[in-house]
Chains A and B, each alone.
Chain A
Amino acid sequence: MDRWELRRQDYSLDSDQEDVREAFSEFFAKESPSSVVRAAEPLGYDAALWEKLVGMGVTTMSLPAALGGDDATLVELVLVAEELGRNASPVPLISHVVSVRLLAAVGADRAVLDAAAAGLPPVALALAPLTGTSPALVPDAAIANDVIALSGEELVLFRSAEPAPFIANHGSTPLGRWDPAAASGRIVLASGPAAVSAFERALGDWKLLTAAALIGLTQIALDTAVEFAKTRETMGVPIGSLQGVAFPLADVAIGVTGARNLIWRAAWMSEYEPQARPELIAMAYANAARVATRGTTTSAHMQGGLGFTIEADASLYFLRAKGWSVLAGDPNLDLVGIGAGLVVAAG
């Protein structure tokens, strides 16, 4: 890696990007307040909300215009995912959008792609390659009939008549115990190295969008804690004036701000120069997972015993930070991968 390469360092959003951000910010704020999030528990899916979101074109926005999309880039998608996270919205946006992009990337049959892009019901992605035919825990499989998985050297769309049985979980996401052997249909999307690389690209997209959602989640957790710290008093002063409270919150702000920019940079590079810094996605993801774990923990703790109660929105953020960031496995494995890549490049 050339550390002295002369690159632009422009993190500003253009007016189209600002519009996307604002539209989804308004949508989620209006349609997905915490009462909606709570009402959707424990499954973590609000079908009516998902239908409205599909109506905004979110499932097709990143498809090429030739396939009925709007050519939106990963940069716009991470902006949307952050807004989703900021409201802890109970919709399978990330796995669905990633799955649809994957179908388009492998040149899936137009009828299959169009059905998936329609979004009802959503399509899920198995984040780990299948091991034989054993059932696996797959995010969003509890609400999807179609699941895309890497099975050996084949990338396969499995079709079932019914979604997989729901497994209640830490982050209230529609986790299903999905059994590939129970599928009624099996469409091979790609095979050989093309299947593996398409799957890895999709997993990278999933990690980027999940990182963005985690940062949205951490930002709202921080905002909530800051408001609390401004008004709650102890010994005659607002607790936010105490460094023991203010400094941990400042650290959350530092973490969130850097993580967001790192995600933007990784999304931009992944879109325009995917070969230049492939480790950026793993960095953005592992970093966001850690920032979210620490940030939502701190934000809940700064609200004392109240932050530990189910009534406090802090609990929603805390549980989802872990509940979302471990769906693809231990983020430390991403660090091992980053280290290995750097050492190989040096060797």
Chain B
Amino acid sequence: MDFSVLQLTAEQEQFAKEVQAFLDDIVTDEVHERELETGDGFSATVHLALGERGWLYPTWPVEHGGAGLDAVSARILDLELHRRQVPDITAGTTALVWSAVERYLDSAEVDTMRLDVARGHVRFCLGYTEPDGGSDIAAAKVRAVRDGDEWVLNGSKIFTTGAQSCQYTFLITRTDPTLPKHKGMTMFLVPLDAPGVEIQGIRAFSGERTNIVYYSDARISDKFRLGAVNAGWAVLHGPLDAEHSIGGEESGLDDISVGRSFLRVLERALDAAVDWTAAAVRPDGTKVADDRSALQRIGRVATDLEAGIRTPGPLGRVAGSEALVRGSADLVDLVGIEALVSLGDRAGSELGAVEYGHRFAQGTATYGGTVEVFRNIISQHVLGLPQMNYPGRKVFLAPGRSDAMAAAR
């Protein structure tokens, strides 16, 4: 057990200064203004500048486009990017997908693509969810039909966040509807500029942009298939487990909670609300700082925040989201009417963090699988409770071989 302040070497001190100076230059007000306007979760200028320095994958070797950083230096960089609120959604999805691409794409393609990914020119988004499928990824219906050396795609995916900023989507498709649902799927890395692919933006009330992506007779080469035909579920599982934080290693440096990034939003809201409380006077002349109910509310939010940060893995995913959902609503109540003023109308005030936090919080209960999906994971993998045998788990999505299969069983 060790929670001590890290003692940096001279090189690490120097590196921290370099990071500061570099980010001072590239993470400008304009970057944040643009993000507020577009909700892209991505800044091309910052992403490419980081890529140029090998800082998108800082621990990768230099020859692979990384910077060969040690774990401490990588942590310094990571914290600084978070501190400056660099839009990072697309960087995150790209990193998740790369592990599968590296493993399953043809090795010559991988070698060409690796440097482009590291430099930031090639980016990936997740093509999992369908408009009528929700968190049940294995219910995917987007069809992929083979035609010689090509595949023809038809259907639509929703919540393909970042598609407008990416070159490829990591797409799960149905290649054999006559097989049980987890078995008839194939993964592809689909070029988003292929004819027949259409991206349509959707805005969330947090301000974030996501997309619905339509595939209408879109044709892609078989070289973009990842893994064997009908073995897509296994290909998907690496990135999905990483996203759900199953089986990860603990470094002793990194945050242990998957919900840590949600809690940074709560930290900003709490700090703003605490600053407000220290100075605010109510219309009746009393100081908010003298009101014990206000202090208790702050104490509760700060405690939930601290417990959330300390809750590991998928448990922390739920704890983080729910601390933010509860806490941000509490902080809006604490501040009252002033907390409701929209971001654009509150020049210079930090209280926007409270109002934003309350809007942003709601999406966190769904990102990467709903908190209910995670409670299922915890019930089965942490507590060892039996899994419910839902009829949809082994459903056949189309008639065909199902009768023969049933007979064979």
Contact = CB atoms under 8 A, between A and B. Distances in A.
A268 B3 contact: yes
A217 to B, nearest CB: 17
B386 A238 contact: yes
Contacts of A264: 1
B393 interface: no
A117 to B, nearest CB: 26
Interface string B373-386: 00110110011111
B379 A340 contact: no
A7 B296 contact: no
Contacts of A336: 292, 295-296, 299
B388 to A, nearest CB: 4
A120 to B, nearest CB: 32
B11 to A, nearest CB: 15
A268 B256 CA distance: 17
B364 interface: no
Interface in A289-347: 332, 334-340, 342-344, 346-347
A253 B386 CA distance: 16
Interface residues of A, number: 62
A9 interface: yes
B108 interface: no
A14 to B, nearest CB: 7
Contact of A10 (B2, B79, B298): B2
A154 B12 CA distance: 50
Main secondary structure of the interface of A (DSSP, over half): helix
B1 to A, nearest CB: 6
A13 B378 contact: no
Contacts of B388: 237, 241-243
Interface string B336-371: 000000000000000000000000000000000000
Nearest to A223: B383
B134 to A, nearest CB: 15
Interface stretch (A28-36, A100-108, A255-263): A255-263
Interface residues of B, number: 61
Contact of A342 (B256, B274, B310, B379): B274
A242 B255 CA distance: 32
Contacts of B277: 343, 346
A253 to B, nearest CB: 6
Given A7-B6, A269-B3, A347-B279, A287 B385 contact: no
Contact of A335 (B274, B296, B376, B383): B296
B92 interface: no
Given A253-B378, A258-B311, A6 B3 contact: no
Contacts of B5: 5-7
Interface in A241-282: 241-243, 246-247, 249-251, 253-255, 257-259, 261-262, 264-265, 268-269, 272-273, 279-280, 282
B319 interface: yes
Nearest to B255: A9
A337 B297 CA distance: 11
B1 A258 contact: no
Contacts of B294: 339
Interface stretch (B156-164, B173-181, B191-199, B246-254): B246-254
A4 B298 contact: no
Given A273-B4, A335-B295, 18 more contacts: A7-B4, A9-B253, A11-B1, A11-B312, A230-B385, A237-B389, A238-B386, A240-B379, A242-B388, A246-B375, A250-B318, A250-B375, A255-B307, A262-B307, A265-B3, A339-B296, A339-B302, A343-B274
13 contacts: A8-B3, A75-B1, A229-B385, A241-B385, A249-B383, A257-B312, A262-B307, A268-B1, A335-B296, A336-B296, A336-B299, A342-B302, A344-B278
Interface of A: 3-14, 17, 75, 222, 226, 229-230, 237-238, 240-243, 246-247, 249-251, 253-255, 257-259, 261-262, 264-265, 268-269, 272-273, 279-280, 282-283, 286-287, 332, 334-340, 342-344, 346-347
- Which 5 pairs across A and B sit closest by C-beta, in order of nearness? A335-B299, A339-B295, A258-B311, A339-B298, A347-B278
